[in-house]
Structure 1
Amino acid sequence: MAQNLGALGEKVTNLVEKVTLLETKLENTEKEVLELRSLNAGNVTNVAFSAALRESGSGNIGPFTTNTPLQYKKVFSNLDNGYNPSTGIFTAKVKGMYFFRFSMFNNLNAVPNSVVSLMKNGVRLTSVWDTSGSDANDMGSNAVVIALEPGDSVYVELLHNRVVYDDAMNYNTFSGFLLFTM
């Protein structure tokens, strides 16, 4: 019987050691989960905005003597507040691949005509243009998918001596969203 008690005591000791080891592993796992949650909370993955030029009224915007970022004042959405309607500039907070689209409307104007460009950090990516002609108005749009780093800026620029027209129909828009982080 003393031999059985010794074997039983050894088994209990082994079980206590295993339970202690499992408790330590569980505590470490809980710490890792909390750390991952805090890291993930700092990642902004819901980034999207869409805006139109005018909040109200109608008429031409421009011409200006220098190339000028357009300020899209009527904000439809601005998740993460990356878009600033006071400047017309979107500033990335997250490294990732982004989609941007912009449109331009021209309402039968004699020269100057319309030329707008999508800019990244002051560098032209793509443009839309129209010249005055016999038709009443013209519209165009363009889009890109680009990689951005935190702090990169994207905006639509109206070239000097050019105009765009907008009214309550919101012809001129600027939109973008994060496709995925990198």
Structure 2
Amino acid sequence: SSLSLFPPLYISLLLLVKMATQLKQLADVTSVSMSKMAFTAALGNSIGPFEQDTPLKYQRILSNIGGGYNPATGIFTAMVRGMYYFRYTMYNNNSGQPNSVVSLMMNSQRMVSTWDTVGDDSHDSASNAAVVQLEAGDSVFVNLYANRVLYDDGYYYNTFSGFLLFTL
């Protein structure tokens, strides 16, 4: 009669092991899919000047694996804690005085910048990049400063890219 308890207990243990295995497989799949974050977007139109600093909204999406980049806001949002690489380009084609200043921003903190406000040439391009640690929910965007401009057209000179190097 005490032996009759063992088969149900054995079956319960088997079910528990099977459920634990399935839960681990689900966690592994979720971890892999969240660790794939990469995007590149291009501006495509001239922009500015604005009376206040403005996040650039890159509308032409070349890739957006993981969905971290939002073209409606111009903001990349980290889905997982990790080390990320970001790069942007800035281009102006202003006859006369160049007037382009942008920065790569993490939340509200300036990380790196490009500046072109002096010179008598009319075709200037600059880029900058950074490797930064982000927490899940942190945001990264390119900021165009007040009273500054960028030139762009169908050749897509201004781009913003980023990807997750590894999770932490």
TM-score by length of 2: 0.85
CA distance in 1, matches of 2:150, 2:137: 28
Compute the RMSD of aligned alpha carbons: 2.1
TM-aligned CA distance change 1:40 to 1:80, over 3 Å: same
Paired position in structure 2 for 1:160: 146
Pair 1:37 & 2:25 matched: yes
CA distance in 1, matches of 2:50, 2:97: 13
Q: Do 2:98 and 2:116's aligned partners in 1 also have CA atoms closer than 8 Å? A: no
Paired position in structure 2 for 1:175: 161
Give deviations 1:143-168, integer Å, cap 9, x for gaps: 00111111100000000010010011
The offset of 1:24, in angstroms, is 9.3
Paired position in structure 2 for 1:96: 82
The offset of 1:31, in angstroms, is 4.0
Paired position in structure 1 for 2:65: 79
The offset of 1:27, in angstroms, is 6.5
In the alignment, structure 1 segments of 5+ residues that lack a partner are: 1-22
Letter in 2 for 1:67: D
Q: Do 1:101 and 1:176's aligned partners in 2 also have CA atoms closer than 8 Å? A: yes
The offset of 1:36, in angstroms, is 1.3
Q: How many residues align?
A: 158
Q: Equivalent pairs: percent with the same residue?
A: 52
- The worse-fitting range, judged by mean Cα deviation, of 110-119 and 68-77 is 110-119
The offset of 1:77, in angstroms, is 0.5
TM-score by length of 1: 0.79
Larger Rg: 1
Q: Do 1:48 and 1:79's aligned partners in 2 also have CA atoms closer than 8 Å? A: yes
Pair 1:66 & 2:56 matched: no
In the alignment, structure 2 segments of 5+ residues that lack a partner are: 1-10
CA distance in 1, matches of 2:128, 2:135: 22
Paired position in structure 2 for 1:9: none
